[in-house]
Amino acid sequence: MQPIQEIVPQLTTPKTIAITMHQKPDADAMGSALALYHFLKQFGHEVFVISPTNWARWLDWMQGVKEVLDYEMHKIKADPILNAADWLFCLDFNHLNRTKTMASKLASIGATKILIDHHEQPDTVTFQYGVSNPGKSSTCEMVYDFIVASGFRDKINTKVAECLYAGVVADTGSFRFSSTHASVHHMVADLKEQGLDHTKVHEGLYDNYLENRLRFLGHVLSNRMEVFYELNTALIAIPKMDLLRYNIKTGDTEGLVNYPLSIQGIKLVGFVIDRDEERKWSFRSKGNFDCNRFARAYFEGGGHFNASGGRDSDNLQNTVQKFKKAIYENKSLLQ
């Protein structure tokens, strides 16, 4: 994989460009994709954003989201776009299998593949150009860096700025995670100086849910949370019946994994949802407990040091028992 800077001289030559992200995109994935979309459109490129799956409705406030194609819903329309693409930007994931049913299609097309991502252990042989930096707070921060380094900082308009800020806010936990380096605050200051209305973005991200989500949150914290004080660990396990009872949609569980971290002494949180096809895990930690290693070792996952995800094809009861066994196996690291 060659450095992403190598493509900068070609930015001013119009091309057909597709941008994609991981399945069930969050604010960083969608924000980075749309920020890059608004940036590239200013050069006269024909640009398309294709999500592998649907996304949370509370992301619909982002400018440009109405133009995003859901691959599962619009495969017939999306495939010709991918076939014709000169460039394919892959944002916020570093293995094609993170795009679910899109993976085989992406592997087969002839477009030049360009990676911008901040997760560990990238599949660099898949991409011709790119940048991978797990030390960065978010893919949105990396897109900002790319734009500034390209010499086209003047093209960060309001649309670009809002999308970039949304991803940074979400992936840093509103600037509280350890990944919030000085560079993040410099970036935000720059966006503010260019007219960013940060209140609008915060309202879009955090004040944009339906009543059922708040009631679901209360139910989960009251009835689905276990705390293992001797291991400084908390667990939330959500059965499918809860999702049905509260009419939970894509994105409604976003951020719930972080709540138990507010409990004094908690170092690790495991959060599992009973989906139809698999049990989906999220892990968060404080301090020196490596979530990435934990997820890879026990739940076919990975991610960042203090935030990662995983999966299990076993049923909810059994996967919960695996988690409990795993935390006791890591007792020395959690105490």
Q: Are residues 200 and 218 in the same domain?
A: no
CATH number of the domain where residue 317 is located: 3.10.310.30
Are 150 and 271 found together in one domain? no
Domain tally, the chain: 2
pLDDT higher at 255 or 268: 268
**Confidence class of residue 186 from pLDDT cuts 50, 70 and 90?**
very high
CATH number at residue 180: 3.90.1640.10
Evaluate whether 236 touches 249 at the Cβ level (below 8 Å).
no
Identify whether residues 75 and 100 lie together within a single domain: yes
Q: Give the per-residue pLDDT at 208.
A: 87
Say whether both 17 and 159 belong to one domain. yes
Residue 96's closest CA among 79, 115, 118? 115
Tell me: do 263 and 322 sit in the same domain: yes
**Confidence band for 229, pLDDT divided at 50, 70 and 90:** very high
How does residue 176 score in pLDDT terms, banded at 50, 70 and 90?
Answer: confident
By residue range, what is the domain housing residue 130? 2-206
Give me the chain's average pLDDT, please.
95
Q: Is the pLDDT of residue 326 over 90?
A: yes
Judgement on whether residues 108 and 254 belong to the same structural domain of the protein: no
Question: Is the model's pLDDT at 178 over the cut of 90?
Answer: no
Q: Is the pLDDT of residue 87 over 90?
A: yes
Tokens linked to 293: 């290693």
The pair of three-digit structure tokens given for residue 256, joined into one six-digit string: 């719930």
Q: Which residues contact 216 (CB under 8 A, 6 or more apart)?
A: 242, 246, 248, 252
Task: Count Cα neighbours of 78 within 13 Å in the Cβ-side half-sphere.
Answer: 22
Find how far residue 181's CA is from the centre of its chain: 19
3-state secondary structure (DSSP) of residue 132:
strand
Residues 184 and 222 in one domain: no
Q: Are 147 and 65 in a shared domain?
A: yes
176, 92: one domain: yes
- DSSP designation for 69: E
Q: Which amino acid is at 258?
A: N
**Mean pLDDT (whole number) for 268-277:** 93
Angle, alpha carbons 84-88-94 (nearest 5°): 145
Structure-token pair, residue 298: 């026990």
pLDDT tens digits, 94-150: 999 999 899 999 999 999 999 999 998 899 999 999 999 999 999 999 999 999 999
Is residue 169's pLDDT more than 90? yes
Mean pLDDT of 45-49: 98
- Same domain (yes/no): 136, 168: yes
Choose one of 206, 231, 248: the last residue of a domain: 206
Do 166 and 310 lie in one domain? The reply is no
Interaxial angle between packed helices 158-171 and 139-149, expressed in degrees from 0 to 180 and rounded to the nearest 10: 140
What pTM did the predictor assign?
Answer: 0.90
Are the C-beta atoms of 130 and 78 separated by less than 8 Å? no
- Which of residues 162, 185, 206 is at a domain's end? 206
Give yes or no: residues 189 and 249 share one domain. Answer: no
Domain boundary among 174, 206, 238: 206
